[in-house]
Structure 1
Amino acid sequence: MPSRKKAQGKARKAAKADVEAEATRKKEALDAQLQRLQLKNEDSCMHGYEPDNVAAEFVKHFLHIVGQVPLQGNPLGTAMEVSKTKYPQVLYNADYNASKLGMIKSLFLAVGTNCILSGDIDHARQCAGCANYFKMFIEDVYNTSLSAEIIGGFGVDKDIELLSGDEKTLVRYFQKHIPCSSCLDEKFKEVKSVKKLGWCGNPQCKIPDRMAERSGMAFCDRCKRVNYCSRKCQKVHWRAGHKEQCEEMRDIRKAYEKSSQKSS
């Protein structure tokens, strides 16, 4: 009869093997979605993306990193830091940016749309977060009046909401950002009744994943950036540091809005 210690060891190995198998399955599913778009099947919609090998390689690399980092570990920031070293010609080559950064964002949107249609919500979340992150990055590249730190910080809450978003939020996000919004009309009908969730800005929030029904959330009307699951969380965060950050965030938002108006 095997000892308890050996049995526990076997159980841990089996659990680890299951996790690795699931990670492999998800990686293969994502690779298949990218390959499908690269082949440009005339019978299927490309959702605004034109096949590009460099963009596909970059997006594959970026999404694989995002999928390996837990939400609390800043997956988008981590993926960007790694990508700065591996793909400097994509991210920081002035002649390259104009033709490629928009392509990268459109590929995140296209892959995410196909993931929604195929029921792969985990990868759809990652694609939505990446697309939003790159939207802010592109605006920083073409807008020298705002620093990368300001632009990056301004979009963090939205990125997190998308990375852990409900299906209704995800479908609406992709509908708004792809040229063929009708591709998701039927899917939106399916999820229309789903309650939209928001991310609580209080780091000490006790609810699971800090996600609450958005219609019942409190909102900081000074900086217009941070949501809270309750007035209690809002007060706790105000005393814990938001009071000092709020004025700075409000100035950032105003500068961003003013800059956006000039560039439009």
Structure 2
Amino acid sequence: MSSSKFIAGADTIIRVAPLLDCDRVRPESIVITTGALATAGATSLTVTITGTPTPTQTILATTNFPLPLNFIEANGREHLVWVTASIDPTTITLTVQPLKRAIASGAIARFPVILRNRQQATFNPNNQNQDISVFDNAGWQDSLTTRLGRGLSMNGTYLPTDAGYNICIGVEFQKADLYWELEFPKPGCESDNLFTKGEIFWGFGSSQVSIESSADNMIMANIEVQSRGKVTRIMAV
């Protein structure tokens, strides 16, 4: 039995997405780009959806469990947008909660959502020995190694306008599962650019968020994800 612990630092990317369906299918990576200018108070956004390969999945969202997305304009201005209806790959209009501010044409949101403002992430597989009773031989016991506790811990200083933070805390209160993805920087030097992407781990699990309010009113939070089922590793390419 072996156990490894990974601590992720600078240039590491964590992506998250809510799982509202029973099927544990890895979400497709898509880019959502706004079309015409959307005025403050608008409840719809004209968009185009792109991805490689061409997206085929529907992203679930409802009025009771809206999907938060961060749209970023070309000048860097960011907007937290709550989508209240499912997003089909052919969708050209998003149904959203009333916008706080106008959003310019060409603003971009990505899904799965990047969890920003984290200070560190720790991925710690937790293998445990557990006694089990075997009932075809009365009184006899055996032990096996379980992998039910693979944990991903992400502490940081989060903002209430950050879509990734809202997804993590939202699935906890809705008792839904979370898709998580941990991507490390590509290895090697820039001068011999042999790799295009670093190592990736991904899986599904339940989220637990511990929140502490600091003296300067920042949200200090530790987001713990307890994985359920298989954790997939993709080698650096």
The two structures have a TM-score, normalised by structure 2, of: 0.24
Higher share in strand: 2
Q: Greater relative contact order (Cα 8 A, min sep 6): structure 1 or 2?
A: 2
More helix by share: 1
TM-score of the aligned structures, taking structure 1 as reference length: 0.22
